[in-house]
Structure 1
Amino acid sequence: MNTQTKTGFTFTGWHMLASMLAFFGTIITVNFTMAYLASSTWSGLVVKNTYVASQEFNGKTAAIRAMLATGIEGELTVDRRGVVYHLTMPDQQVVEADVVTAHFKRPVGEKQNFMLTLLPAGDGRFVASKEILDGGWIVELIASRDGQTIMHEAERIFVAGE
């Protein structure tokens, strides 16, 4: 009679330790990687001081309602060569402004942000020539006449290579 027993794999404490280190090591590595990528690609700032922004909210809301009541509309055209902004009333009447500025902001990061002053080109059109890099932008446009803001809007655009 054969009394040999087949010896198989025995799961020991060392195996358990290796399994736990591999499992939690993977989780910790992924968490640190994601935290690093999140903090290195976006500042997280929408406004510099949230308390001050909350105190100014009602005043800004009233000003926007008054501006919208005028009926002025803006049409933005952006390509890699520059910017054209056209201001009109609903009946296509031309709106003139003294100063029009365009603040280009990347949705993520601040390194490539810039501001342009658009020059009048007649018939309510304002233009600026500048090479605009490809990608997504948030363009904040502010038009003023006699020191009063007559149009303030923001558009999210995407510039693609030609």
Structure 2
Amino acid sequence: MTINQAGAKQAKAPRPFTGWHMLGVMVLFFGTIITVNLIMAWNASHSWSGLVVQNTYVASQQFNGKVKEAKAFVADGLDGKLSVENEALRYTLTRRGNPEMTADKVVAVLKRPVEEHEDVTVEMAHQGEGVFVAATALKRGQWIADITATSGETVVYRQAIRFMVPGAAK
């Protein structure tokens, strides 16, 4: 608004919407979309690959054998329990009807569900009848333990356990 010589208020003419204004709107609009897409693509290419197995066909062919093996372990009355205690893992392996366990070695592959760079393999020390312990400090959060118990060269029991580490250990 402007005031003329007589003191009356006059409305100022609005500025027209030009092609330059439209160009600015289009550059901001599409620039935002392209920037967000580039950020998302960079994050996707620099994070977890999603690869679980090297060859899905081979893994699918081995599936029935793994199911048969798991059923055999259950039929034998085998049961394993994992617990996290003061920066140590404790694994107890028992057999229904036969308290003596024949495993002499337990190896645990500890993995994060979505990150490969923190995977670690630990051999658990035999601490008594069916009890194996490994001193390892794990970061808090979800973990998967792929546990294999062997007696000599024979696999006695195989189990995958998903567990949580509650406190910050490392």
* TM-score, length of structure 1 as denominator length: 0.85
- Choose 86-95 or 66-75, whichever is displaced more: 86-95
Shift of 1:81: 1.9
Higher RCO by CA contacts (8 Å cutoff, separation 6 or greater): 1
Q: Distance in 1 between matches of 2:148 and 2:53?
A: 18
Q: Flag as ranges the 4+ runs of structure 1 deviating above 4 A.
A: none
Q: What is the aligned-residue RMSD (CA, Å)?
A: 2.3
Deviation at 1:125, TM superposition (A): 0.3
Pairing 1:52-67 to 2, within 5 Å after superposition:
52-67=58-73
- Map residues 24-39 of structure 1 onto 2, 5 A cutoff: 24-39=30-45
Q: Deviations over 1:70-121 (max 9, x none)?
A: 2211110124521110011345834230221010112222222111111211
Say yes or no: does 1:81 pair with 2:87: yes
Structure 2: give runs of 5+ residues left out of the alignment: 1-9
Q: 2 CA distance for matches of 1:22 and 1:5? A: 31
TM-score normalized by structure 2? 0.81
Write the deviation string for residues 12-65 of structure 1: whole angstroms up to 9, x where unpaired: 222122112211211111122122222212121111111221222222222222
| Alignment correspondent of 1:98 | 104
Give the residue type in structure 2 aligned to 1:37.
N
Q: How many residues are matched?
A: 160
| Identity fraction in percent | 44
Post-superposition offset of 1:6: 4.3
Bigger Rg, which one: 2
For structure 1, the 5+ residue unaligned runs are none
One of 39, 49, 72 as aligned partner of 1:43: 49
